[in-house]
Structure formats: C-alpha cells, structure tokens
Amino acid sequence: MINVSKGFSLISSKLELHGIGKKISIIVPAFNEAPCLEKNIMAIREAIQRITRSYEIILAEDGSTDGTDIVSKKLAVENPWIIHSHFAERLGKGGALKRAFRVSSGELIIFMDADIATSLNCLPQMIGEIERGYDMAIGSRRIRGSKSKRSPSRTLLSWIYNLFVRILFGTGVYDHQCGFKAFRRNMVESVIDDVQSNSFIFDTEFIVIAKNLGFSIKEFPVIWAEPESRLSKVQLLRDGFRMGLQLLKLRANIWKH
C-alpha cells in the first residue's frame, strides 16, 4: 500500500517565471540513500529557493533497506515543503516516479537523482528551457558544452546504449538516461499512462512516447560527476546485453500498440 505523508502546509507564493504556474514539484527517487539524503535535500531546497518560493519536494521512496524510509518520513514531518511517497516493496525507478508524478501538484515537474550527480547550478537553465516554451528539458552529458566525469566502462556503455536508442526510435536525443529532467504538467499527464516500464528504461520510453505524440524536447548540456556509490564495476557484455534486450522489447511493444 502506498503511504504519502507531508507537513502541515505547502509553501505557496507567486511564481516569478511566466507561463509555468504556481508551483514547481521536484521529485527525488530515493532507494537506499539514507547516508546522504537529508544533506542533499537541503542542498536542493537552497537551489530552488533562488528561483521560486513556491515548490514542493517529493521523496519517491520504495523498498529501501537502509533506513531511507525512516529518514524520508522524518524530513516530511519536520518540513512542510516535503512529501514522502512511500511504498514498502521495491517498485523500481519507473514505478516510484509514476506514483510520485500522480502525487505532485506543480505545473512544472522536475526529477533529479538523490545523489545530485548533476550540478544544481544547472537547475536555472533547465527551468529556463521550459520557460522558453519547450514541453520537456533533458540534461545531457553527451552534447557540446557538457562536462562529465565517469569511468571509461560506463562512458562506453552509455554511448552504445544511446546510439542504439537513436537507431531504433529516431529520437535525436544523445542522453536519454541522465537523471535531471523537467516537464510541463500537461505533457506528463498525456504520456505517463502509456509508459509500461518500471525499470531503468523508464526515461527512454517516456521520451520515445513524448516524441511520438509531438511534444517538444530540448536537450541541454550539464555538469555531471559520477558519485562514489556508482563506481561499481560495469560488465559490458552482461549489462549491454540486458539493455539491448530491454530496448528490443520496447520496440516490439511500440509496434504492437
């Protein structure tokens, strides 16, 4: 059963950016992020407060085993601008995000990784792309102007994955999986029910469907550094095969529907 807890009220004030609406919702998937969660959420709050006072931060926490659920609940009780979207079993990134999207109330919806691998200095540019009229803004580690620090094996695997996606689906996007994206609410409402994946491929499927529906997408360069928690050894053959299989399954599902 899903459990959503929040503080007594949400901060509300007039959003200075034109055309976005009253509130920005920031969704942070939180699976086993207990050691760094509180510190990083406060950093996100500091960054968004430079832009608007009308916001909410939703902790999409599911199936954690390290006390992330306890930390998330505590943060929600102590801070009126935090919502804790909890599910006892592991849903996967996509499943947690879907539930959080439905809990959100902002006209602009953002999701970002809990480890803040993407510099928060990129946040104003991402919101600015939506302000300029795009339906979706995608942080990219693979286009001109970006700065990315990651292991060679992960760099190669990412390059192969994104090339394969462009060949199969013709998205024109160079980084489908960066955990730093923003959406207009009407776009999310139009796309989310058609996204079937709950796994790592969620981002890619969302982009493919959005493109097919004619929504405008802007890819912009970000500053990104691989956190120590992600420095586990990548097995190119195993992980590449798994990703390729997921993409072929997605291609088949799209043909079917």
Q: Which two tokens stand for residue 175?
A: 């980084």
> Do 85 and 94 form a contact (C-beta atoms < 8 A)?
no
Total residue count of the chain as it appears in this document? 257
3-state SS, residue 137: strand
pLDDT of residue 245: 86
Pairing between strand 82-87 and 2-6? antiparallel
203 belongs to the catalytic site: yes
pLDDT of residue 228: 72
Residues 139 and 212 in one domain: yes
Residues 83 and 16 in one domain: yes
Residues 111 and 137 in one domain: no
Domain boundary (85, 116, 147) is at 116
> Do 63 and 31 form a contact (C-beta atoms < 8 A)?
yes
How many domains, in total, are found in the chain? Answer: 2
Domain boundary (116, 140, 170) is at 116
Residues 16 and 112 in one domain: yes
Residues 107 and 170 in one domain: no
Residues 81 and 164 in one domain: no
3-state SS, residue 51: coil
Q: What is the mean pLDDT of residues 113-124?
A: 96
The pLDDT tens digits of the residues spanning 156-175 come to 889 999 999 999 999 999 99
Range of the domain at 127: 119-257
Residues 24 and 63 in one domain: yes
**Which secondary structure element, helix H or strand E, spans residue 37, and what is its range?**
helix 34-49
pLDDT of residue 29: 93
Residues 82 and 187 in one domain: no
Residues 138 and 125 in one domain: yes
Residues 142 and 252 in one domain: yes
pLDDT of residue 236: 59
> Do 6 and 46 form a contact (C-beta atoms < 8 A)?
no
62, 175, 203, 239: the catalytic one is: 203
Q: Distance (Å, rounded) from C-alpha 169 to C-alpha 209?
A: 10
pLDDT of residue 22: 59
Domain boundary (64, 95, 116) is at 116
Residues 249 and 158 in one domain: yes
Q: What is the mean pLDDT of residues 206-225?
A: 97
